Chain A
Amino acid sequence: MKEKTGIIITGGVVGLFAVLLVYFGNPANMGFCIACFLRDIAGALGFHRAEVVQYMRPEIIGLLLGSFILASVNKEFSSRGGSSPVTRFVLSIVVMIGALIFLGCPLRMVLRIAGGDFNAIVGLVGFVSGIYVGIFFLNKGFNLKRSYKLTNLEGYLFPVINVGFLALLIIAPAFVFFSKSGPGAASAPVWISLAAGLIVGALAQKYRLCTVGGTRDMILFRDNYLMLGFLSILAVAFVGNLLMGSFKPGFAEQPIAHTDGLWNFLGMALVGWGSVLLGGCPLRQLILAGEGNTDSAVCALGLIVGAAISHNFGLASSAKGVTLNGQISVGICVLILLAISYANSEFLSKNAQA
């Protein structure tokens, strides 16, 4: 049990900070959301022009740099990459499209459940279903081939880009967009968000927190290590919401959520499936990018581009519901995941041998 204390504490800190960040000004049930916050950053940079979701979220910068700093101190920083980067980029776009159909990454899904949003339970069922599909292909030999050691600069670049984001946030030049209304305008003070990100980033780096890994490892290996982190987030955020009076159970009128069950299910199924193929959830990818994993940095860039595509093409859902374009995009994304899953599994190589 001793070796599992760290992951349980990490999950607890994520849950606690998530509730506190909402108290200090973040959107409801959105203390942390990797998808939403990368989407806000895409908006701040003008990659999409959805005026209500543009903000250079300090939590993301903090997560990345917290991981980078601790990995460097512990000599775990290692610049590596080259494991099917373009495939990972495309997978990340799909994951982001799915997350914005549902309205949240797996982390926000947990926080939404902890806030009493039953739509997120439907999302969870989809998420687990997607993980099962991903595991089916893992068992068929799916992998994206190995990565290699690279020059240190390659690994430093993404952390440096995040220092640049921090500079843009503080200097706030006219070409960076800041929402004046909507979720993008709701935020905790910069230094609180940044500090929360740094602490969670360091803890998640040390204890390997991953929201998709919890379910995946339980199914594949009966290993509950990461699941304990997942459950710890849920438990602490749930108690926190109860204490703050922000636990409001039900389907209707939930903050930044819609009630369309089918699309909540399908959106998170894409996220679960895509994340298993990527080897980790969006949060985990940020942490790995901080450790010098440039395949994960490519993933983070794919998530940002995916957010821009989602809003520019009218795929992202809103509290009003799912769009027709969004529904069509889910179908296309399923085909993309099928093709990538199939092509990187042993189906083709076995046929070639026969």
Chain B
Amino acid sequence: MKTIDTCGMSCPQPVLMTKKALDEEKDGIDVIVDNNTAKGNVQRYLKSVGYSVEIEENDGTFVLKARK
């Protein structure tokens, strides 16, 4: 599964990067974010385009696992 790292990026880059990655990997991706704003924004976007999202937290970062 393809992983994209959005740590340190300001709005709206994490969502833009997610959108771009999904254009190439339609089955799903893992998105790493490092703050609650990006977590909320990416999660909302993934759900709005029809993915289920599972979130793993480790040491200040979150991995959002998006699956069809």
Could you tell me which A residues sit within 8 Å of B by CB distance? 3, 76, 78, 80, 83, 138, 143-144, 146-148, 208, 210, 213, 216-217, 220-223, 225, 278-280, 295
Contact = CB atoms under 8 A, between A and B. Distances in A.
A217 B42 CA distance: 12
Nearest to B7: A146
B19 A279 contact: no
B10 interface: yes
B10 A83 contact: yes
Given A76-B35, A210-B11, 13 more contacts: A3-B44, A76-B36, A83-B8, A143-B10, A146-B9, A147-B9, A147-B10, A221-B12, A223-B44, A223-B45, A278-B10, A279-B11, A280-B11
B12 A208 contact: no
B3 to A, nearest CB: 16
A78 B15 CA distance: 20
Contacts of B15: 217, 220-221
A144 B48 CA distance: 27
Chain B interface, >50% SS class: helix
Contacts of B8: 80, 83, 146-148
8 contacts: A3-B44, A76-B36, A80-B8, A83-B10, A146-B8, A147-B10, A220-B15, A221-B12
Contacts of A147: 8-10
A223 B42 CA distance: 11
Interface string B13-50: 10110010000000000000001110011001100100
A213 B12 contact: yes
A316 B9 CA distance: 33
Contact of B10 (A217, A221, A295): A295
Given A76-B35, A76-B36, A225 B44 contact: yes
A146 B37 CA distance: 15
